[in-house]
Every structure is written in structure tokens, then in C-alpha cells.
Amino acid sequence: MTDQVQKARAVFFNEAGSAEVLKLNVIDMPEPKDGEVLINVKSIGLNRADIMYRMGMYVESPVFPAKLGYEAAGLIKEVGTGLKNVFQKGDVVSIIPAFSLHQYATYGDYIVAPGYAVQKHSGKLSFDEAAALWTSYLTMYGMLVDAGNIKQGDHVVINAASSSTGLAAIQVVNYCDGIPIALTSSSHKKEGLLNAGAKYVIDTTRNEFNSEIIEITNGKGANIILDPVVGKNFNKLLETITEYGKVFVYGVLSSDEAVFPAFPVLMKTPVIRGYNAMEILGNPEKLSEAVKFIQKGVEEGAFKPKIDRNFSLNEIVEAHKYMEGNSQFGKVVVNP
């Protein structure tokens, strides 16, 4: 290791709260231990989980001083013992979010990552795209393929479709020969969603948006609904599910209270459940199948993350604020 790279930069925070709690610090260069690699980070993918963890509202609470970040892509700088036959210096890699933020994090220019969470990534993707891949596509594989058992011709309603995860859902549905119905509360995003592969785009600010879904599905209703919003439209959304359909709640972007439509649920008996990507990430066998599925889709050109906007690592506070504004179309990426 040369004198020029003895220091690194990393983002920490010492209290839960708004984006302003994030601080960029200079630290000693991390060193990989057995089973770890040191990565020269080129791109960092931001996720909703990052914001929730920063605010102390995630499945695990931050331990201060806390680090942040689940996704990144870059070049391997150093390989720890135990991985010499797996990785080499200079390998182009991306990181799967299969670890606790208490142990590892990606917000930095040089980071240590566990070998089990590191994937050599395809030349089909740029560093930005590779850093935007795993969280969104693993989540959608889990809901649509593993738990949803999507079939050819299935109508899939995708709420908040312009998010990075929503756009991944459109691609996965098309890859599985389903019919993606994209929902958005921003009518100006309609053309972008159609270009992204949505078969239909519906504006949820219209009072009768649920009737449009019923009409599109020829009165049968949607086979699968993916909803990271919930809120005041949840009852209307559930009215559009087909008999024995599946509804996945994987976020709560709306602060509005939701109304539960008891009668349609009693009549149609759908499965309504929450979803967390740990169902895939915490199961080695399922994770292996998911990785193969995603890599195949990337190689075939079916899966390609959409990058909305880039920030520098110095602008990490601004990047978080921008993401919280919910105006993006695709992934927010930070470049050290």
C-alpha cells in the first residue's frame, strides 16, 4: 500500500435524524481481514432503507458512530486471506446487500466488504448501473418470482412505479411475460414509464384509477399488486385484486392512514402480506437462485437499472434530501 492511499473517506452519523446528521470523515485506510476484500468504490447506490436506518426507523437500530450504505460498485484493491482463489486485485465488482449495517457499509471511497456479498459484475453494466442493481432486482425477484409465482399473462399492478424498485419491477414482469400496469401520482412521468416498458400507466390522482385497472384486466382484476405506498388509496387498490390474487406491501411511503376494504377481501380472499428482501438475502439457496436469475437477465439485456441523478460523496446530505423529495425517476447514485 503506497503512502498516497493511507487515508480514506467515509460517512458516519452520531444521532438519528434528518439528512444533516450525515458527516463525511477522513479515516485510516481500511484493511481486509480473512474473508473480506478492500474495494476502491466508484459508485454508491442509495436506498430507502438508508434513510430509514438514518432516522432510526429500520429493522435494526443504528449503533453510534453509525455507518451507512448497502450498495456499491468498484475495483478490488486488496484481497484478504481465504479469498485469494476467488478474487484478484483489479476485479470489477458490485455488492449485494446481504449484511448488517452494524458490520459493513458502503458510503465511502475505500470500503471493506465480506466476500459472500461481493459479485463480479458484467461488462454489460456501468459502475453506476452495477451499484443500482441488487437491492431493487433482488426485492422484485423475491416478490414476483419466489413468493408471487408470476405466470405468463399475469397482470401486475406496480405502485410508485417510477422509483428504482418500481422500474426494476416493470423489467422483471416483462421478462416473465407478464403485463406491467404502472401507477404514478405524477402524470408527467407517464411517457417515461411507457418507455421503460410499462404496458399501461395510470395516474393515481384520478378518482377512478381503480376502475381503469379493472377495465384493463377485462373485469378480472390484477393477479399481483406491489405496493410500497399504502395510505389513502390502499382500499381502492385492493378492490382491483383478482380472486385469490396476491398483494405485497413492501414500504409505507404515505403517512396517510389506510382503510381496509373488508368486503372485497372477504369475497376475493386474496393473500395480503408484507415483504422484506431478507426472505431472499437470509436464505443462501434462494439467494443463489436469485443471483443467477438477475445475472441472466442482465446478460440478455432485459435488466438495466435507470440512473436518475448523480451526486458526489461531498454532497451526501443533498443526495439524501433529494431522494426524500420523491421526485426521482430511477436510482440516485453517489460517486466518491
Residues 141 and 191 occupy one common structural domain: yes
On whether residue 285 sits in a domain, the answer given is no
Low-confidence ranges of the chain (pLDDT < 50): 1-2
On whether residue 22 sits in a domain, the answer given is yes
Query: Peptide bond preceding 65: is omega within 30 degrees of 0, i.e. cis?
Result: yes
Instruction: Specify the pLDDT at position 179.
Output: 98
Instruction: Specify the pLDDT at position 4.
Output: 58
Q: Which domain holds residue 113?
A: 3-133+306-335
Residues 127 and 167 occupy one common structural domain: no
In the chain, where do the E strands start and end?
A: 7-13, 23-28, 36-45, 66-67, 71-79, 92-95, 110-114, 118-120, 155-158, 179-184, 200-203, 222-227, 241-249, 271-274, 307-312, 331-335
AA identity, residue 182: A
Instruction: Specify the pLDDT at position 29.
Output: 96
Instruction: Specify the pLDDT at position 1.
Output: 44
Distances 59 to 6, 16, 49, 278, 281 between C-alpha atoms, Å: 34, 14, 9, 11, 14
Residues 207 and 310 occupy one common structural domain: no
How far is 214 from 175, CA to CA, in rounded Å? 23
On whether residue 258 sits in a domain, the answer given is yes
Instruction: Specify the pLDDT at position 295.
Output: 96
Total of domains in the chain: 2
On whether residue 287 sits in a domain, the answer given is no
How far is 119 from 109, CA to CA, in rounded Å? 18
CA 67-168-45 angle, 5° bins: 20
